[in-house]
Chain A
Amino acid sequence: MSRAFDWLDKRYGLTPLVDFLKHKEVPVGGHSMVWYYLGGTTLFFFASQVCTGLLLLLFYQPGEATAYESIRFITTKVPFGWLVRSLHCWSAHLMIVSLIVHMFSTFFLKAYRPPRELSWVTGFVLFMLALGFGFSGYLLPWNELAFFATSVGTDSMKAVPGIGDWLLQVLRGGTDVSAQTLYRFFALHVVALPLITVGLVGGHLLFIQRQGMAPAMGTHVARRGLRFFPDFLLRDLLLWLLCLILLATLAVSLPYGPGLPGVEWELGKKANPLAPAYPGIKPEWYFLWVYQLLKEFPPHILGMEGPQAAILLVSVMLGIWAAVPWLDRRAQRDESSTAFSDLGVAAILFVGYLTLKAWDIGGKGLKVPDTFAVARATSIITVIVAAAIFALRRFAYQHRFFLLSGAATLQIALHGFLRVSYLNAGIVSVLLIAAGFAYLRLRPGPSVPPRLGVAP
């Protein structure tokens, strides 16, 4: 062992690297410790995707006459083929769950504040790429559900101003979803996206490596550090083992997913472009909020077609999310910025409500569920969650800023309890936000909320 090390050390000078690893530390900041592991679990699930994806590739054949059949062959004939596919599907969902929690935890810890803006931005792009993985992989089995979900999902491309039609055709390889689309998505899914992702993960990790992890707000240097090697790494490995156990248990016991809409991968019928769409065509769960938003928009609004306006709104919101490091001025000065914590809560309520609604919770399992019953049942759930988060923030963290999450809750309550249309309720909420900010600006005294709510 040490002979081999000497041999390599003489040639490549490893000693500085080892010294570096010996001294690398992770800040220990009380409660925030847990969140430092979520990037690692995301990486673990990505690695599983690469391994299981490679195995699927040995049998999968894209093509109108072969894609569906080859997946059928994998799951019914190839020994443990069902397991490999189940692992790939489960790990895809778990990776996105882990990624979302990771993103929100760095958001609430304000880990995006200088000098870590680019960690946030690369992370945001990685999130988009993960969504791209899910979207492109969904079509590969060439079954009915995937076919229609992809038709609807790609159609929103036409909303891009100017080049929308061109983009739509390039993505689909024609005016409609066809075998051409399958080839393009396959190339994206197994070559383009993995290469870009690996490159960006490299950048993301390099930035984090150079800067260390963000210490808790208000503490410039961590008082105490945990040695990265071996203490943190061993904990990480233990967690990966737990992730593997979780993944394997789920993949073995529910090989076709838990059966919730958007979280299932029963192969079903082969895609037939000449069959009419049927109710219950839904994209994967992480796209459901956009799907539901498209449904809430009327045919025409503000001189635009409904879908165009909805996609514009989603783009603006994602743009704001990506630019948060530059928008959050107080966090830049290392002051607590409860307004941005509130923005995060509002985002969770907004996206969460739409997702629950897309699940038709409270719809009593009807073919075409009663929209009012669904709106009411999902509003009750969301308002209870909002109240719990409010109580936690108000009393445990002494937050004082609730304008955005309050407005999001108001919209949900108006829509669910008073049957105001979703968009009109949204307009009321936006007016409330505008009035709130105007008040904060004009009010005598400090124009921004006082410095409260420093995380313990």
Chain B
Amino acid sequence: MPDEGCPLKKKRSRRGFIDIMLGLGFMGSTASVVYPVLRYLKPLGPSGAQGPMKLTKEDQAKLEREHMLIVRSGTTRILVFEDGQQKLRALDARCTHEGCTVQFVPGESLIWCACHNGKFDLDGRVLSGPPPRPLAQYSCTREADGSLVVNTDRKKEEA
């Protein structure tokens, strides 16, 4: 195709315009497919109650029997346990390494993650093993009527 000449140039710019419009149309239709799919794939936000959580009777009985208990609140799992001084404590139950559920080892006053042998102290600080960060602490209080409440939205101030 020859490259010079006024009419041709005009034709070319018209062609360029059409190309741009086609390209935009193509991108627009792709986006209108991709965007809903991406939104569809992304899970809905956490549902269910957050805030102070009262333990059920069964949970409380289990806690007394086994000295530890894992409860769910929204999307967090919380480990509630009784330390050596009969004090109740609560820590995030998700290991900060790869997310396994940790457990309380009463004999050794230790929080232990069985997946890669991560160890934490009772305040959630890493003692050994691969976890990179401490476990978050929650406060756990005994109400006047004897029931237990775990405060899930407010983390205990770091001492």
Listed in ascending order, the chain A residues whose CB lies under 8 Å from chain B are 148, 151-152, 155-156, 166, 169-170, 172-176, 180, 273-281, 294-295, 297-300, 305-307, 368
With A169-B43, A277-B102 known as contacts, the answer to whether A297 contacts B114 (CB < 8 A) is no
Let me know if B114 and A180 touch, CB within 8 A: no
- A306: chain B residues at CB < 8 Å are 97, 130, 132
Instruction: State whether A148 and B126 are in contact (beta carbons under 8 Å apart), knowing that A170-B42, A277-B100 are contacts in the complex.
Output: no
Known: A277-B102, A279-B114, A294-B116. A299 touches B130 (CB 8 A): yes
CB distance from B67 to the nearest CB of A (A): 12
Sample 6 A-B pairs with CB under 8 A, ordered by A number: A180-B43, A274-B70, A276-B93, A280-B114, A300-B132, A307-B130
What is the size, in residues, of chain B's interface with A at 8 Å between Cβ atoms? Answer: 31
Verify A299–B131 contact, CB threshold 8 A. Answer: yes
Task: List residues of chain B with CB under 8 Å of any chain A CB.
Answer: 41-43, 46, 70-72, 75, 77, 79, 93-95, 97-103, 113-117, 126, 129-133
Q: Is the CB of A295 within 8 A of B116?
A: yes
Which of A148, A174, A294, A299 sits near B43, CB closer than 8 Å?
A174
Contact partner, B114, options A273, A274, A276, Cβ 8 Å: A276
Does B117 lie within 8 Å of A368, measured CB to CB?
yes
Determine the distance from Cα of A294 to Cα of B131 in the docked complex, in whole angstroms: 11
The chain B residue sitting closest to A291, CB to CB, is: B116
Q: Are B43 and A172 interface neighbours, CB within 8 A?
A: yes
**Beyond A148-B101, A180-B43, A276-B114, 9 extra complex contacts between A and B, CB < 8 Å:** A169-B42, A175-B46, A176-B75, A276-B79, A278-B114, A294-B130, A298-B130, A306-B130, A307-B130
Contact, CB under 8 Å: B102 / A276: yes
Query: Which of B97, B102, B126 has most chain A Cβ within 10 Å?
Result: B97
User: In whole angstroms, how far apart are the Cα atoms of A281 and B116 in the complex?
Assistant: 9
* Chain A positions within 8 Å of B97 at CB level: 299, 306-307
Question: Which residues of chain A are near B95, meaning CB under 8 Å?
Answer: 277
**Bound Cα distance A419, B85 (Å):** 40
Chain A min CB distance to B20 (Å): 30
Q: Which of B70, B95, B97, B98 has the most CB of A within 10 A?
A: B98
Using Cβ atoms and an 8 Å threshold, which residues of chain A touch B103? 276-277
- In the complex the two chains form, is A277's CB within 8 Å of B113's CB? yes
Bound-state CA distance A211–B95 (Å) is 51
Q: How far is the CA of A280 from the CA of B114 in the complex (A)?
A: 8
Partner of B115, one of A148, A180, A275, A299: A148
Q: CA separation between A156 and B98, bound complex, in Å?
A: 7
Contact A152 B43 (CB under 8 A): no
Residue numbers in A under 8 Å from B70 (CB-CB):
274-276
Shortest Cβ gap from B97 to chain A (Å): 7
Find out whether the CB atom of A148 lies under 8 angstroms from the CB atom of B130. Answer: no
